[in-house]
Structure 1
Amino acid sequence: MTTHALDEKASGHQFRGQAIRTLLILGASGDLTGRLLLPGLARLVRHGKAGSITLVGAGSDSWSQEDWQNRLATSFSAATATSGNHDDGGALSRVCSTSSYHQVDVTAEGELAELLAGLEGPVAIYFALPPAVSEKACATLKPEDLPEGSRLVMEKPFGTDEESARRLNSVLARLVPEDHIHRVDHFLGKATVLNILGLRFANRLLEPVWNSLHIDSVDIIFDEKLTLENRARYYDNAGALKDMIQSHLLQVMALIAMNAPSTLHERDLRDHIGSVLRASTVDPDYRRSTRRARYTEGTIEGRSVPNYVDEAGVDPARGTETLAEIVVSIQNERWAGVPFRLRSGKALGETRKEAVITFKPVNHLPDGFTGVDSPTRLRIGFGPDTLQLDIDVNGPGDVFCLDRITLQAELNASELLPYGEVLDGVLSGDPTLSVRGDTAEDCWRIVEPVLAAWRAGEVPMDEYAAGS
């Protein structure tokens, strides 16, 4: 083994090919770019992790260079205002001053290739576009249109179903190697992933009991107060099951349920994630194993929220859910019989982003104790990353009475914004946090039967008041 290979193995990273010289954002005039991508890039530049990158924007809007510079100024200032006192030596100003915008129809034959021909390579092409548009854009390209060493960055959802995901994988594989494709899951930042893996595999107290003999159930929950927030064009065609569970929560489940990889190398890690998802199914009694609902008129923190079907851009005939829950079974020795409940909902009264591991009760509690013998629960919070352990102890006063206490800790947090971590992996050529092609297809395989049952009306659409 070479010294370079040993260094890669020791660090847990794998850097592939030449450094990216140009970051090309397709869909640069869209909401995703302004709200998330550019602030993430700004934080990355401020921390000296972007190298001498040249930023190029492309979109369908007829923006002037002044329009583009105004977007950069707005997005960059929002990110740097909360990033602390970092002297970047003028790096962020240089990125702005050298950046350009191009009006391009990426689905038109030859237009994207012509733009790429004028850029310094290698290029990272970020498809901040709907899945169908990204597929059409890639279909217009030939391998020779891409500067050597270029990388393709695809936003979630990756495809619109298993068939389209497989078709898109085929198109991408024709252009670049798999390790040059980054399928973005911004929900799983590097700090979050390593926090989960460190907790799981570095503690003798946990690993021996991390199985069906000791764990009763696992809940992975992403509830938020946010409503549609002017995203009807995307969200009403997706819904909570596609938007959050298919795209993000199944990946969290796989990290919690996976066996220990031998290293943190991307192949080891993603092989183990893939093995969990290949073993995962949803019970076909979908009235029992799934739930769907959407919010009606209500109030959140004093703000009136209209009925979802009355929101601008919503088509009630689509039957889009704003809350989805599925119970996943992992068919392997470690997890047989343990339900993994995955839930995500919008316009709820409480923000709750956590995984809750509920342990089975003790085999025998000596007679004589009073109070409530509650299940031991381990809670892993996401954004901010926290750890809580709920256990029973002898309460104050009556030493025979059991009382509940919570042990708490804050876990390591990244200095980068979620999309800064995404771009860090892209620019350094580290695909560890990228969703691998086969895994993307498996996530669709798991949820597609549920979606079909919902379309057929097998599961009723429940309703809940916004803010409830």
Structure 2
Amino acid sequence: MIERLVVFGGTGDLTARFLLPALAALRAGGHLGERLSLTGASREDWSTGRYREWAADQLDRHGGDCPAEAMAWVGASARYLRADVSDPADVAAVVAGDGPVAVYLALPPALFPAAVAALHRAGLPPGSRIVLEKPFGEDLAGAQELNRLLADLLPEQAVFRVDHFLAMATVQNVLGSRLANRVLEPIWNSTHIAGIDIVWDETLALEGRAGYYDTVGALKDMIQNHLLQLLCLVAMEPPITLGERDLRDRKVDVLRSVRPLTENDVLHRTRRARYLPGRIGDRAVPAYADEQGVDPGRRTETFAEVELELNSWRWSGTRFRLRSGKALGADRKEVAVRFRPVPHLPFGHGGEAAPNVLRFELEPEGLALDLTGIGTRAHELAPLSLTARMDPAELPAYGRLLLDVLTGDPALSIRGDEAEQAWRVLEPVLSAWERDLVPLEEYPAGSDGPAPRFP
């Protein structure tokens, strides 16, 4: 296990809300030894003492029910160095030390190329690893160039392009439900499944993230990475093992099988929108264009929907709909598998049977199955729902990812060719949207989003 962790962007929101609590959870679970050291690096002119005070405050705010001893240990093990991530001399001073180091780039994606180039010039000890957050690149060409820079720095197995969705317990349960239950896998195909909706709708609005979000939008922020990753797990062929090669090969197969979108497809199978003023619960929400830090001229979308088809034996004829929106009236975060109706109902005038739907609920984590049964009157059909709540995972998603980084297991990270294929899928959408071929619709904050357009 690597015993040195360096976080560039060590004073940022990602470190405060996720990485520090993840380290505390790892410590509490007995996964970290006494020798692990944490170095935070950023532009702030702080001392190590100031950094430890800040880390303790952030752990108090975001550490949840993690034991106080574990949170205190994280703070005490940290040190701080002021550094410009694009300066090879600064970077070399931060990563200097005995033995390999895990370098976490908790930075805006636009800084990745400069940071990787500085690390290359500074040099990393043998056995080191690097971690990058999504989105990986800004388009296909950017992802390819970043892959070239990374290949000059470290071997592919030492590069961790992380997506915390892959470490969520319910996401992992998609594979568990499919591959460990005979009742599901034989019907996991287009013969029985009409469509699969992969949805991340949230009541949260911009929440002060204009500096990042207004340059990215819903398509790049959610669909290009998180939701395409869920598509891979839902649609992949059963791997031989869950080792990094077998699992990632099957995920790449899914992305390669996505039917290329023509310009006409983009016009009829994608949509974008942004929110107008409205109310979400008891709070008033301004229009996105009026949020602080937003440039209305960018026409950034806060809602994106894309319908895809796969060119594969298993999935020909099944529709996959990926959707994400902000400032909506209700949170809906799920993978909904919609089965085809039965061919015949022998119940006379007892009503209609709604299609069965299997829902993997992502937040809060759970599982639900919508069925049809007999109601209180004989031969009268009525909806029936079976639900299950999952026990909390031992580790939070970022705890699982950090443990994989430190122990060297890249199975849940995104391989370079996979990152490029994800951009290939959406390149036609990005191009058409940039040329305003698809209208930018609007919806009131607190609503269900733009009116349904797809059948």
Using the size of structure 2 for normalisation, the TM-score is: 0.94
Aligned length in residues: 444
1:197 aligns with 2:179: no
Q: Quick one: which of 275, 287, 298 aligns to 1:318?
A: 298
1:104 aligns with 2:89: no
DSSP-derived class of the 2:131 partner = strand
Residue in structure 1 matched with residue 188 of structure 2 by the alignment: 210
Residue in structure 2 matched with residue 416 of structure 1 by the alignment: 395
1:126 aligns with 2:108: no
1:339 aligns with 2:319: yes
1:289 aligns with 2:278: no
DSSP-derived class of the 2:215 partner = helix
Is 43-52 or 236-245 further displaced after alignment?
A: 43-52
Q: Is the 8 A contact 1:143 1:174 kept in 2?
A: no
Is 452-461 or 365-374 further displaced after alignment?
A: 365-374
**One-letter amino acid matched to 2:259:** T
1:63 aligns with 2:46: yes
Q: Quick one: which of 334, 343, 347 aligns to 1:354?
A: 334
Q: Quick one: which of 402, 416, 430 aligns to 1:451?
A: 430
* Percent of paired sites with the same residue: 49
Residue in structure 2 matched with residue 247 of structure 1 by the alignment: 225
Residue in structure 1 matched with residue 453 of structure 2 by the alignment: none
Residue in structure 2 matched with residue 169 of structure 1 by the alignment: 147
Q: Is the 8 A contact 1:40 1:79 kept in 2?
A: no
Structure 1 residues 361 and 139: CA distance shift in structure 2, 3 A:
same
| 1:210 positional shift | 0.7
Q: How far apart, CA to CA, are the structure 2 residues paired with 1:244 and 1:406?
A: 29
| 1:91 positional shift | 5.2
Q: Quick one: which of 29, 34, 37 aligns to 1:54?
A: 37
Q: Is the 8 A contact 2:16 2:62 kept in 1?
A: no
| 1:109 positional shift | 3.3
Q: How far apart, CA to CA, are the structure 2 residues paired with 1:298 and 1:235?
A: 20
Question: CA deviation digits over 1:400-435, x for unaligned, max 9?
Answer: 111001011123531322211211111111111111
Q: How far apart, CA to CA, are the structure 2 residues paired with 1:198 and 1:95?
A: 33
| 1:111 positional shift | 2.0
Residue in structure 1 matched with residue 4 of structure 2 by the alignment: 22
Structure 1 residues 239 and 296: CA distance shift in structure 2, 3 A:
same
Q: How far apart, CA to CA, are the structure 2 residues paired with 1:297 and 1:282?
A: 36
Is 444-453 or 66-75 further displaced after alignment?
A: 66-75
Q: How far apart, CA to CA, are the structure 2 residues paired with 1:109 and 1:123?
A: 16
DSSP-derived class of the 1:152 partner = strand
Residue in structure 2 matched with residue 135 of structure 1 by the alignment: 113
| 1:45 positional shift | 1.6
Q: How far apart, CA to CA, are the structure 1 residues paired with 2:232 and 2:337?
A: 14
Is 224-233 or 284-293 further displaced after alignment?
A: 284-293
Where does 1:86-105 land on structure 2 (aligned, <5 Å)? Answer: 86=67, 90=69, 92-105=71-84
Residue in structure 1 matched with residue 383 of structure 2 by the alignment: 404
Q: Is the 8 A contact 2:275 2:443 kept in 1?
A: yes
Q: How far apart, CA to CA, are the structure 1 residues paired with 2:169 and 2:10?
A: 27
Q: Quick one: which of 60, 64, 69 aligns to 1:77?
A: 60
**One-letter amino acid matched to 2:351:** G
**One-letter amino acid matched to 1:459:** V
Q: How far apart, CA to CA, are the structure 2 residues paired with 1:403 and 1:367?
A: 12
Q: Is the 8 A contact 2:337 2:358 kept in 1?
A: yes
Is 275-284 or 239-248 further displaced after alignment?
A: 275-284
Q: How far apart, CA to CA, are the structure 2 residues paired with 1:376 and 1:98?
A: 52
| 1:144 positional shift | 7.4
RMSD of equivalent CA atoms: 1.6
Q: How far apart, CA to CA, are the structure 1 residues paired with 2:74 and 2:382?
A: 57
Q: How far apart, CA to CA, are the structure 1 residues paired with 2:414 and 2:225?
A: 10
Which residues of structure 1 form unaligned runs of 5+?
A: 1-18
1:308 aligns with 2:288: yes
Q: Is the 8 A contact 1:283 1:329 kept in 2?
A: no
Q: How far apart, CA to CA, are the structure 1 residues paired with 2:122 and 2:286?
A: 51
1:392 aligns with 2:382: no
| 1:369 positional shift | 4.2
Q: How far apart, CA to CA, are the structure 1 residues paired with 2:136 and 2:24?
A: 25
Is 73-82 or 386-395 further displaced after alignment?
A: 73-82
Q: Is the 8 A contact 1:143 1:176 kept in 2?
A: no
Structure 1 residues 437 and 64: CA distance shift in structure 2, 3 A:
same
Q: How far apart, CA to CA, are the structure 2 residues paired with 1:453 and 1:81?
A: 43
Q: Is the 8 A contact 1:195 1:411 kept in 2?
A: no
Which residues of structure 2 form unaligned runs of 5+?
A: 448-455
Residue in structure 1 matched with residue 206 of structure 2 by the alignment: 228
DSSP-derived class of the 1:142 partner = helix
| 1:247 positional shift | 1.4
Question: CA deviation digits over 1:13-66, x for unaligned, max 9?
Answer: xxxxxx211110001122221122212222222212122310000001222333
Q: How far apart, CA to CA, are the structure 2 residues paired with 1:356 and 1:93?
A: 41
Structure 1 residues 81 and 214: CA distance shift in structure 2, 3 A:
closer
Q: How far apart, CA to CA, are the structure 2 residues paired with 1:141 and 1:135?
A: 10
DSSP-derived class of the 2:41 partner = strand
**One-letter amino acid matched to 1:61:** E
| 1:361 positional shift | 0.9
Q: Is the 8 A contact 1:294 1:323 kept in 2?
A: yes
Q: Is the 8 A contact 1:191 1:412 kept in 2?
A: no
Q: Is the 8 A contact 1:43 1:79 kept in 2?
A: no
DSSP-derived class of the 1:442 partner = helix
| 1:95 positional shift | 3.4
**One-letter amino acid matched to 2:398:** Y
| 1:466 positional shift | 0.8
| 1:75 positional shift | 2.1
**One-letter amino acid matched to 1:206:** L
Q: How far apart, CA to CA, are the structure 2 residues paired with 1:307 and 1:173?
A: 43
Q: Is the 8 A contact 2:228 2:422 kept in 1?
A: yes
DSSP-derived class of the 2:59 partner = helix
Question: CA deviation digits over 1:323-371, x for unaligned, max 9?
Answer: 1000011110100121100000011110011011111111122251412
1:436 aligns with 2:390: no
| 1:219 positional shift | 0.3
Is 427-436 or 42-51 further displaced after alignment?
A: 42-51
DSSP-derived class of the 2:307 partner = strand
Q: Is the 8 A contact 2:56 2:72 kept in 1?
A: no
